[in-house]
Structure 1
Amino acid sequence: MLRLSGFAASASIGDFSQRVALRLVTAQSDQAPNCDHDAYLFTGEVTHPECRWVVTFEELQSEAARLFPSQRLIVLPAYFDYLGEGDVIRFVPDRKAVRVLFRKGASANYFLVTERCNHLCLMCSQPPKDVDDRWLAREILDVLPLLPATTPFLGITGGEPTLVGNDFFDILVSARDHLPSTPIHVLSNGRTFKDKAFTERYQAVGHRRLSVGIPIYSADPEVHDYVVQSKGAFDETIRGIMNLKSVGAEVEIRVVVHKQTYEGLADLSDFIFRNLTFVDHVTFMGLEITGYTRANMDKLWMDPYDYRSELRAAVQYLAAARINVSVYNHQLCLLDGSIHKYAKRSISDWKNEYVDECTGCSRRSECGGFFSSSNLARSSHISPFQY
């Protein structure tokens, strides 16, 4: 698991005190320079001494201090040594706090727009906070112009990102202008889209590769509302999906499978076929044991092997109906073989791991592996393939 946040070993920054997003540049940089947001990544050879910021690692601290006496110097500990050209970090001078915002070599990067949310999902991996965090949106607007046009994927998440209103649309417009070919995927509970005017404004952004992923956890409104801990959420979510598809937006339905949802998977697939057959994608997702999930393990956790029949039936139903369906965050050895072809390697690389039982597995390269948090609860049926 890559460590995405921590603290600088030391920093010499003069009178600068505001948090700043910094793009790391080296001799290989092929992007236009940005004086306010570029930092030269010093790894031993001087090629960009004109940057006002310099970032290096502890073993090069003395040399960097000698070579760049007038620049703002940030010295990182060794656990950030994976950083390279084009990556973007946030630096908070008064705390010397460092957060990796974007990795150029990652298959998927996500931007957190807000920690506020109108749900309290039992298995929320990013527990909401009722705080004024509008600075997050402003930071994203600073970062988007720094990203390479070849960025393969960008996720917009929260909290509930639509709650930030105009800032949400400003982010989408900036993504359209700076990353016109990059797929942009918004993770939302869908409720704000019940407002037709909001939905039309969303579609009018005009990014040709914009999509939104919305969770539905049951065909039974009471079960869905219980999982998200918000009465009336199911009805507003369905209205939101209807509005989005009425204006031609791309919509994915996400279903997290756990103890509260597995028994209703077949009914949910039938509901989607009968009422939402026009959606673009349906994904059945494994449980990530972090955030609120840890506090609700007794209500949520079950061995994925024990719901393999229900998952197989739900996937096969949608596939037979010619609805695009996938299985995320599951290990192949826990799935019925008939649905292996729908399983995707979906766990973000920085928190993706394999366990000892995976050693020597002939299908490891095809398997999605585990969340790094899975050591808190793991199936007793992990078994490597030997062919």
Structure 2
Amino acid sequence: MLITEDFLHYVWKFRLFERSAFQTVDGIELEINSAGLHNTDSGPDFHNARIRIGDTSWAGNVEIHINASDWQKHNHNTDNAYRNVILHVVYNNDAPVFLPDGRPIPTLELKNRIPDDLYARYHNLIYGQKTIIPCEASISKLDDFTLRTWFTRVLVERLEKKSAAVISALEVNRGDWEETFYQFLAANFGFKVNALPFELMARSLPQNILAKNKSNPLAIEALIFGQAGMLGDDFEDEYPRRLKQEYDFLRKKYNLSPIEKHLWKFMRLRPQNFPTIRLSQFAALIVSSNHLFSKVLDIRDVKALPDLFDGIKVNEYWDDRYRFDKPSKPAAKNLGSASINVLLLNTLAVFLFSYGKHHQQEYYINRSLKLLESLPGEQNQIIDDFKAVGIKAASAFESQALLELKNYYCNYKKCLQCSVGNKILKLA
């Protein structure tokens, strides 16, 4: 048998072992009242277990190893963090073990107590030949309740990770939610390829400067294109020449320094996604919406949130342009539904969750989840792979959960920490 400590943790946690003639290796009767709380940090593997050994009831920690001799190999015999261990659970009892104060530790050996069919299912799940995910042959057979509950759990884990980045930026911005939202929204306007220069541009151009010029659309456009480093050339068209003139004035007024133009990427992008077009859309959004995050918080119906972005009209100069001084065929440059959905998913849903988490208001957390439920599922290779094994993502709620599941559980074969894996292992 190829035994791992993770598997032994799983067996102990759910008591999936034979308990007839249950006793320690020294022949003392053993009863488990509570397996304890699984500890994934340093220290003993399970805390606050309750166990009766002989006539004495104990409360304390449990440590688990493949071989009993691992206790000494890991130097637990000299580590006071392990002085409250009341039971040593091992697969193979190959050596006596002692607490740091020299007392022997009662030991339970599991070698002949693990059912063969349980191990067979575990081995097939973790080490079987799979092409997509470890449980690809079984996941579609699970009940909807198990899947939905677990998807919610991993989705919340994903949002909590993203929330950590928001809170970190919030601290830098001295608790200013509007400024932090503005910076993240800008980064997401870059749609991965130009996320960094968009974020740098926003950080170089505080929102309060834009607010001071809100009544002047040309000034807003000049500030955004200027800080993006896009106005350093000599232009032929009147519009960019006006932008440059306006920016030169505003740059001196506010003592601004633009980012480098070379940071922006145009290669291998559809013209509709050129940074010039995204910057024009971002400028149009700033012109049309003041204190945008406050509006996000105030809108109760998540289905109304797309209206914040829908119908944004960029400067008419871009009707037949994708770059300055380069005419093109006329085409609409408004934000499409797919782009709006990306902004809703990556910015609004994350900020609603972060705000609710930070202020301990479940209302905003629930709105974040409802927003994701209202958005269509994403389309990418991971989602296609899950579809191939019978799991379809009907909403962004589900597609985001599947991305988290694949990247942080399936890829590392953390089946024993996954409710799907647990359910499959327990199936007879």
| Fold-level similarity (TM above 0.5) | no
Structure with the higher fraction of residues in helix conformation? 2
Which structure is larger by alpha-carbon Rg, 1 or 2? Answer: 2
TM-score normalised by the chain length of structure 1: 0.27
Q: Which is bigger in relative contact order (C-alpha 8 A, separation at least 6)?
A: 2
TM-score normalised by the chain length of structure 2: 0.25
